[in-house]
Amino acid sequence: MKNTLITIVGATAIGKTALSIKLAQHFKCDIISCDSRQFYKEMTIGTAVPDAEELASAPHHFIQNRSIFEEYSVGQFEKDALKTLDKLFTKNPIQIMVGGSGLYVDAVLKGLDEFPEVDSQIRSNLTEELENKGIEYLQNQLKELDIEAYNTIAIDNPHRLIRALEVCIGSGKTYSSFKNKPKTPRNFQTIKIGLKADRPLMYNRINRRVDIMIENGLLEEAKKLHPHKNLNALQTVGYRELFDYFEGNFTKDFAIEEIKKNSRRFAKRQGTWFRKDPTIIWFDFQEDVQHIIKTIESKL
């Protein structure tokens, strides 16, 4: 049988983890996590890391294997994931990858785009503008320079936003023009499974998940991380809003509502990213797992 990576994608809180475990148990294989927020061991509650029971249900890789104090790029993840998959495929020609970070999914399945070197001063200037003028100023700048990137990247993530802008400014070309060039072929085939739900239902699941995170101690977790708020790993939904609460910019209730709102926006962007891929086989998030398994087996 040809090496096959079953890849499960979809919006946050849609049920990807539960499905990945059921499939891993059926195919007796491992799970590669490509959720870029779950790499960090200091971030547990706010990133919805699988619980101890879930982690014990199937072998997982790239869950809380890094510290927020380490720089870890999507390029490094690509290399690490491919090396891990090479080892796993010697034991079982079927493996599973799961996550909602579209860039990280694409890095493993297709390879990364190559961008030109740009003057480091551009990044410094953009970082200064972020601090002095706010993220919306940079978002509007990207909207003018590269509307395609504005519509597809995580513009609420300052790191991604600045990266796109520095390429636009430094090269004089759009960030998106460097994307989707020919890449090195992979030594495995891919079967992509997407989970979906009607938007009101999905948004209700997201809101409920945030409430559960708060009940489980997200405020306490964020409080410990607050002194390190400028680290790249912490420029993410669920933590930024609470840092504003700790600094007196938001009330607690407003911060929680902002987490819900920004999580819904994030889910919408995930949907935009994945819907562009015609090779994804979509299922309702409540679909019977046996039907999904039969579909996968028909493609093997």
What's the gap between Cα 203 and its chain centre?
18
Q: What is the spatial distance between Cα 125 and Cα 141, in angstroms, rounded to a whole number?
A: 13
**Alpha-helical segments (H) within the chain:** 16-27, 52-57, 74-89, 102-109, 120-133, 135-145, 147-152, 158-171, 199-215, 218-225, 240-246, 252-275, 289-299
Q: Is the pTM of this model over 0.75?
A: yes
Question: Is 110 labelled as part of a ligand binding site?
Answer: no
Q: How many residues does the chain have?
A: 300
Residue spans of the domains in the chain: they are 4-112+183-299, 120-178
pLDDT digits (tens, 9 = 90+) for 117-145: 889 899 999 999 999 999 999 999 999 99
Does 12 show up as a binding residue in the annotation?
yes
CATH class of 120-178: mainly alpha
**Is there a common fold for 4-112+183-299 and 120-178?**
no
3-state secondary structure of 241: helix
With 80 as the cut, is the pLDDT of residue 13 above it? Answer: yes
CATH architecture assigned to 4-112+183-299 = 3-Layer(aba) Sandwich (3.40)
* Residue 236, annotated as binding a ligand: no
The residues, ordered by sequence, that sit 6+ positions from 230 with a Cβ below 8 Å of its Cβ are none
Grade residue 15 by pLDDT with cuts at 50, 70 and 90: very high
Task: List pLDDT tens digits, range 44-77.
Answer: 999 999 999 999 999 999 999 999 999 898 989 9
Minimum mean pLDDT among 21-25, 28-32, 183-187, 294-298: which range? 183-187
How many other CB atoms are found less than 10 A from the CB of residue 73? 12
13 is known to lie in a ligand binding site:
yes
Tell me if 48 is assigned to a ligand binding site.
Answer: no
pLDDT band at 181 (very low <50, low <70, confident <90, very high): confident
Give residue-wise pLDDT tens across range 247-282: 999 999 999 999 999 999 999 999 999 999 999 999
Could you report the per-residue pLDDT of 237-247, keeping only the tens digit for each?
A: 999 999 999 99
What confidence category does residue 223 fall into, taking pLDDT thresholds of 50, 70 and 90? Answer: very high
Please give the average per-residue pLDDT across 4-11, as a whole number. Answer: 97
Tell me: is residue 155 an annotated ligand-binding position: no
pLDDT value for 179:
84
**Paired strand residues for 7:** 97, 192
Mean pLDDT across the stretch 16-25? 98
Sign of the four-CA dihedral 221, 222, 227, 229: positive
- The reply to whether 10 sits in an annotated binding site is yes
Query: Is 295 annotated in some ligand binding site?
Result: no
pLDDT of 112 reads 86
Q: Are 129 and 138 in contact (CB under 8 A)?
A: yes
Mean predicted confidence (pLDDT) in 158-185: 91
